Amino acid sequence: MEAMTEEKILSFFQGCIPTDFSSRTQTQADRILRLYAKVREELLQELQKIEGADFKLDTWKRAEGGGGVMSVITEGEVLSKAFVDISIVTGKVPKAAVKHLHQAAKITTDETFTEDYTFLGLSIVCIVHAKNPHVPAGHLNLRVAVMKLNDGAEVGWCGGVMDIHPSYLVPEDVTHFHKTLKDMCDKHDASYYPRFKKWSDEYFFIPHRGERRGLGGIFFDNLMSQEEGNFSFLESCADAFLPAYLPILKAHMCDTYSDQEMAWKQLRNSRYTEFNLMYGEGMKFGLKLSGFQTETLFATVPLTAMWGYKSDPEPGSREDELVQVLRCPREWA
């Protein structure tokens, strides 16, 4: 097990929270970082146990403010690529990125973008791509952002994603994943799951393919970050990912598979890659942000992918069964 403990995570990021933010924001950021450090440790413990090997640790600092702690494995025995990353971004944000943040958070303001803003962003991301084509990719992303406007006001919001990306449809697996998320959401607000599930189906749509990246989960944004109930919801999301995804990974990581099934997985990986590079909001923002570690952004895509030519599956096949659901999302919970 790697030596980057929860306390060392907190020590690494010490001083990353700008002092020109309010004491309330600084306290909240410290609380969020402690949550991320705890979740990171839990995720790594389970994933390293499954892989039977430690993840590689990489830490980096951003000259403009912030940095990251990345733990990653590639070409493992079970996991093709998997990582857990905590990143903090602080300092001035270019106007192009500020406009993106305004749109992402649905901030309505008369600001004319005449100067750079002070920004604080904290995120934790876990993505799992297994070798076996019968294991879906899993994705967790939680983020909190605060932006100081030109008049000194601070606008804060939080968001998150949990979704699943299979190559083959196993209805009971997808139902388990969605039901776990629904049960978690219902403890906070009965409207959350149907709203956030619909948002996920819409967000992960690939227009030029006419299908979704995967079979969704939940996607939410623009929850006011300083409300106690929303912090509690982030905690619940963090706690729900392993119960939702881990049983599926364990159930199929040793399944037998054919060369044809592996080739189909590579085609599905190409869709995952297309979405991330062309439509992923995190990718867009990170590429606009000077000094952000590029390797962290591109770690999100699968290790390998394949683009064929008119590689539509045979009607009625298991591959076609998946594509039909990607084109017309179902209700799973």
User: Under a CB-based contact definition with an 8 Å cutoff, are residues 253 and 135 in contact?
Assistant: yes
Distance of CA 13 to the CA centre of its chain: 21
Residue 95: name the closest of 143, 150, 16, 142 by CA: 150
238's tokens: 């963090």
What whole-number distance in Å separates Cα of residue 29 and Cα of residue 211? 37
SS (H, E, C) 142-199: EEEEEEECCCCCEEEEEEEEEEEECCCCCHHHHHHHHHHHHHHHHCCCCCHHHHHHHH
Q: Locate 203 and state its tokens.
A: 């967000």
Q: How many CB atoms lie within 10 A of CB 74?
A: 14
Composition of the chain by helix, strand, coil, percent to 5: 45, 25, 35
b/e per residue, 54-67, with b = 16+ CB within 10 A?
ebeebbeebeebbb
* Backbone torsions φ then ψ of 157, nearest 5 degrees: -150, 165
Q: Tokens 């995967």 appear where?
A: 214
Distance between CA atoms of 14 and 150, rounded to whole angstroms?
26
How many angstroms separate the most distant Cα atoms in the chain? 61
Residues 116, 95 contacting (CB under 8 angstroms) = yes
Catalytic residues: 139
